Structure 1
Amino acid sequence: MSSATSASQPIAYFHPTRWGDQFLEFTPLDKATQLEKVQEVEHLKEEVRKELLARVANVNKQLELLNFVDAIERLGLAYYLEKEIEEALLQVYETYHDQCDKDDLYHVSTRFRILRQHGYHVSCDVFKKFKNDQGGLDDCILNDTRGILSLYEASHVRIHGDDILDEAIAFTTTHLKLIVDKLSSPLAEQVVHALHQPLHLGFVRLESKHYIGFYEQDASHNKTLLNLAKLDFNLLQLLHRKELQDIDSWWKDLYSKAPFARDRLVEAHFWILGCYYEPKYCRARQILIKLFMIVEVFDDIFDAYGSHEILKLFVEAVHRWDYSYVAQLPEYFNSVYQVLLETLDGFEKELAEEGRSYGVQIYKEQFYRGCKAWLREAGWLKKKYTPKYDEYLEASIVSIGQIQGIIGSYLGITEPIATKEDFEWVCQDPMPKVVEASLMIIRLLNDIASTKIEQDSRDHVVSSVQCYMKETGITDEQHVYQVLEKKVEDAWKDLNQGMLRPYSIPKPLLDRIINLARAPEIFYKGRTDGFTIVNQIIQDKIASLLFEPIPI
């Protein structure tokens, strides 16, 4: 490594990858078996489509339709039937109040959650009928555990002003915790899982893996749906493993140039599968994983290496985007800088052939913006300066890399193609509320999870925790965590609001914004940084999604 590294700089130690090369050790299906499986999927998919359309046609049995759509979505199969599901939900929406007036808590909650998740601004007043004269939930529903669990899940799609859902999430959480030990299987396991990972805050694919197990234990399950879900999961798992295998040599080459960085390729791939897992986004994932790993390496450089003066030189190099600057940077900077240039220029050339290189140009601008934010934070560290909370957030919600992740996630999407106006809408100043909320969620959860270990182990720029404590005079760190977690809850309300119709940009692009906000809810759960220090819980989730097929 270059002698240009300042000896006074803090050196971080990141543990090696937990995975070794085990993700490379798999045998793909032979062509004949692959074809057979794909044909079986097509057959089952058509059977499910016919069943769904039959339920849409039978307007007198809407509960059957609602339950069928819910099962399709929770089993991870919605991407096969997007048009048909929209048709079904339009029917559900048009009879919303009439149906809710006569339905039980389970179905009112399920209908509300699904319609909200599909952008319909339906009223939460439908839950008032379950309240007693004192304003609490009526005694008649206290024994309806299935209904209370459904209400708990529905409460997570709340927006500002949904006061009844604020009350509901507090009540249902407390109530489910009190009764969970008295429940029998499989409802007990469903409650335990929901309390750990609310459906709305989880990765679609990971939640579908859990739900397949629960659904199979339901005596009334639809066998066609279940068989399709299992087969689909296993086939996609092979695709996702192949993608990981394909990127491995590229990452090893980059990592050899920056061996001080976090070796987290598998975790990053898991993170990106939370953004989009469907086969049609394969190319988009191939692009985003490279951008993700480059940002991670630069984040580690800015976080723990290089003098403030060298960082300034590097930021200028990014601004100029000039290969001639390579020679002016220390070895550990110039080699990674060259990878950055080559990778982005390669994407730009590739997308120029499709008439949409504008996306890469905008990504470059946002990467430069992130570098300036990193440099600003490095200046705070050099001066031992603790900024005001709002001043801190101004830089740190950009430095966290989420805005770059959102823009990067659009580059490879072809259904629909993100227009220049779509990119500009995301990047506008001031930020759209839905974008700002996504950035705020990852920033605050990252700070809560990592601040103690970063501050205790080495010199590190202050986080929102220290900024808030200094500004308010609060000395109880646990109390500050609770304050910031309340701000995360409020950000989710903003995010949920931004996902309602009419959409500001196409729904598939908005979905990336909310899906990328779900990743910190998984990696930073329990106030621990499961990305930097990969714990057993995160390893188990990754193994479940990537390495453990479902027995058929």
Structure 2
Amino acid sequence: MEKVRTMLSQPSHKSNAIVMVDALKKLGIDHFFGEEISAILDSSYNNMYKTLKESDVKLTDIALQFKPLREAGYDVSSDVFQRFMNENGEFKQYLSKDVEGLISLHEASFLNMGEEILYTAKDFSTMHLQSSVKHLGQRCGALVRHTLDYPHHMSLKQYKARHYLTQVLLYLTSDDASLSMKELAQTEFQLNQQLYQDEFKKIKRWWSDLGLARELTFARDQILKWYLWSMTALPGPQFSKHRLEMTKSVSFVYILDDIFDIKDNPEELTLFTQTINRWEDSSALPGYMRACFIALNEVTSGIAQFVEEEYGLNPINNLRRSWATLCNAFLVEARWFADKQVPNAEEYLRNGITSSGVHSLMVHLLFLLGHRVTNETLHIIEGNSALVTCTAKILRLWDDLGSAKDENQEGFDGSYVEYYIKDNPSCSLNAAKLHTKKLISKSWEELNKEYFFNKSLSPYFKEASLNCARMVNVMYNYDEEQQLPLMNDYIQNLLFGGNN
């Protein structure tokens, strides 16, 4: 750490500093060097427009500065890339041979907040990186393919860091720096992996002791998948206790979803929803619902107690209301299917954003991280923040894009794609999917804007929201055999393997 800190403070050349910042972020160890990185970014921001006027400025130089500056909330315009465009608003053709520059431009393009230049950057870099692969060596070609498939901003940091470890030397000009960073990243990975394995054992014991799997035999029993959400949203040793509590909340989102999807009894579901809205005596409920409510009450009270012991506030009423909001949305869907009603696509999506469970999880996460109720956090609690609604929309639409169901899920479910086609009879399936993908892209742009420029919420909460959106592609990217190869690779890399 001291070697890296010294190199950050005294780089051999000013451009080396921003290259090292990029590498530290890609390795997921930038959090060790907050002060040094802030100083480098301040200097970079102050000198960026001067650098743009230099005759020999490279695309890589600007793209590598743009990305960390925007991520850190600096007001840096995408107009910085106009230096590399012609009078027709197209990137200059000589850049098509600059693979390093194209990679940096491609990564920067995903920090889009609705800017035309970044749309153009993405199209240009994608086209020329794809055509360059066959002319590159094995190592560089593999890096380009991984960049195209898993751009950093859209991907899980821990997962990308494992892959980047084998590519570090391509980017660093100092062997000492690369070796120090690589050693630090490997040590951090091994310590975190051991911690995650220990936590998973604890959460398995909790789930077994809770006994709900024996009461709700029809529901999914996927404790590993539930823990992955928490492991992804809140990485690092400082959030160990928080991950355990968050996993408990995640588990009930899945369990409640299964109750409403699989139990085709509107009267019982209405009674269940009323009980959760009032948080009253559950003796009138069927046995399996009563067992679920009692367990939910126990877990919710435990999380509220954890928050009170940590921060001195008890959010029990807010947590209970978040579960009521979720069940109300589930009940709307259950009644649609029971009554054979067909909602329009917008109506379905509006309710589906809530029934995704993201709102309930974010309310729990808000308090687990110590936020108090303010005008700003009320937007989260009431489900009006882009950090919640956009993440939920991304999840709902990604889920609905897939033709495959969860491998262990049965029952009734809706689909935005299906309802969009019914609203637009002349629309083909491919066109409906393209429209859905555009909605996902727009949601990412709104989420980016909130993530980059909202200064009133902690960076940990904002990062957790972004990480949940990143996790969607892992959780819902089914192959033709209804398997999740990306999730399985993620598990093997971060939890159970990849010690080298």
- Contact kept in structure 1, 2:398 and 2:476, CA below 8 Å: yes
- Contact kept in structure 2, 1:206 and 1:541, CA below 8 Å: yes
Determine if the alignment matches structure 1 residue 508 to structure 2 residue 466: no
Determine if the alignment matches structure 1 residue 402 to structure 2 residue 337: no
1:352 positional shift: 2.6
Aligned equivalents of 1:246, 1:229: Cα separation in 2: 26
Aligned equivalents of 1:204, 1:537: Cα separation in 2: 14
Aligned equivalents of 2:265, 2:459: Cα separation in 1: 43
1:218-257 paired onto structure 2 within 5 Å: 220=173, 221=175, 222-252=178-208, 253-257=211-215
Q: 1:498 to 1:460 in 2, by over 3 A?
A: same
1:113 positional shift: 1.1
1:56-455 paired onto structure 2 within 5 Å: 61-102=13-54, 103-160=57-114, 162-216=115-169, 220=173, 221=175, 222-252=178-208, 253-322=211-280, 324-325=281-282, 327-413=283-369, 417-421=370-374, 422-428=376-382, 431-450=384-403, 453=405
Render the CA deviation track for 1:104-136: whole Å, top value 9, x for unaligned: 111211111111111122111111121234432
- Contact kept in structure 2, 1:380 and 1:461, CA below 8 Å: no
Render the CA deviation track for 1:449-489: whole Å, top value 9, x for unaligned: 25x648xx976242211221111224421211110000110
Render the CA deviation track for 1:314-364: whole Å, top value 9, x for unaligned: 111111223x31x32222222121110011112222333345444343222
- Contact kept in structure 2, 1:199 and 1:207, CA below 8 Å: yes
Bigger mean CA offset, 299-308 vs 418-427: 418-427
- Contact kept in structure 2, 1:157 and 1:496, CA below 8 Å: yes
Render the CA deviation track for 1:187-222: whole Å, top value 9, x for unaligned: 111111111111101111111111111115667442
Corresponding letter in the other structure for 2:86:
N
* Structure 1 gaps, min length 5: 1-44
Q: 1:319 to 1:528 in 2, by over 3 A?
A: farther
Aligned equivalents of 2:330, 2:402: Cα separation in 1: 19
Render the CA deviation track for 1:501-520: whole Å, top value 9, x for unaligned: 35242222222221111111
- Contact kept in structure 2, 1:274 and 1:515, CA below 8 Å: yes
Does the residue aligned with 1:503 lie in a helix, a strand or coil? Answer: coil
Corresponding letter in the other structure for 2:346:
D
Corresponding letter in the other structure for 2:142:
E
- Contact kept in structure 1, 2:52 and 2:83, CA below 8 Å: no
Aligned equivalents of 2:73, 2:424: Cα separation in 1: 38
Bigger mean CA offset, 268-277 vs 538-547: 268-277
Number of equivalent positions:
490
Aligned equivalents of 1:225, 1:247: Cα separation in 2: 32
**TM-score normalised to structure 1 length:** 0.84
Determine if the alignment matches structure 1 residue 521 to structure 2 residue 473: yes
Render the CA deviation track for 1:138-192: whole Å, top value 9, x for unaligned: 12211101110111111000112x1011111112112222221221132111111
- Contact kept in structure 1, 2:401 and 2:417, CA below 8 Å: yes
* Structure 2 gaps, min length 5: none
Corresponding letter in the other structure for 1:122:
V
Q: 1:474 to 1:121 in 2, by over 3 A?
A: farther
Give the structure 2 partner of residue 21 of structure 1: none
Determine if the alignment matches structure 1 residue 46 to structure 2 residue 5: no
Q: 1:285 to 1:105 in 2, by over 3 A?
A: same
Bigger mean CA offset, 365-374 vs 101-110: 101-110
Render the CA deviation track for 1:493-537: whole Å, top value 9, x for unaligned: 111111223524222222222111111122233x6599xx54233
Render the CA deviation track for 1:86-121: whole Å, top value 9, x for unaligned: 232122222221223433111211111111111122
Aligned equivalents of 1:124, 1:423: Cα separation in 2: 30
Aligned equivalents of 2:447, 2:480: Cα separation in 1: 23
Bigger mean CA offset, 469-478 vs 293-302: 469-478
Determine if the alignment matches structure 1 residue 497 to structure 2 residue 449: yes
Corresponding letter in the other structure for 1:463:
S
Corresponding letter in the other structure for 2:193:
Q
Does the residue aligned with 1:186 lie in a helix, a strand or coil? Answer: helix
Q: 1:254 to 1:387 in 2, by over 3 A?
A: same
1:452-491 paired onto structure 2 within 5 Å: 453=405, 460-491=412-443
Aligned equivalents of 1:512, 1:136: Cα separation in 2: 36
1:254 positional shift: 3.0
Aligned equivalents of 1:257, 1:534: Cα separation in 2: 27
Q: 1:177 to 1:247 in 2, by over 3 A?
A: same
Does the residue aligned with 1:505 lie in a helix, a strand or coil? Answer: coil
- Contact kept in structure 2, 1:110 and 1:150, CA below 8 Å: yes
Aligned equivalents of 2:319, 2:14: Cα separation in 1: 45
Bigger mean CA offset, 347-356 vs 262-271: 347-356
Render the CA deviation track for 1:371-427: whole Å, top value 9, x for unaligned: 0000000010011111122211221100001111222223332xxx31222532313
- Contact kept in structure 2, 1:312 and 1:375, CA below 8 Å: yes
Does the residue aligned with 1:71 lie in a helix, a strand or coil? Answer: helix
Give the structure 2 partner of residue 25 of structure 1: none
Q: 1:278 to 1:355 in 2, by over 3 A?
A: closer
| Backbone CA RMSD of aligned residues | 2.2
Aligned equivalents of 1:224, 1:246: Cα separation in 2: 33
Corresponding letter in the other structure for 1:158:
N
Q: 1:363 to 1:356 in 2, by over 3 A?
A: farther
Does the residue aligned with 1:500 lie in a helix, a strand or coil? Answer: helix
Corresponding letter in the other structure for 2:220:
R
Aligned equivalents of 2:480, 2:52: Cα separation in 1: 41
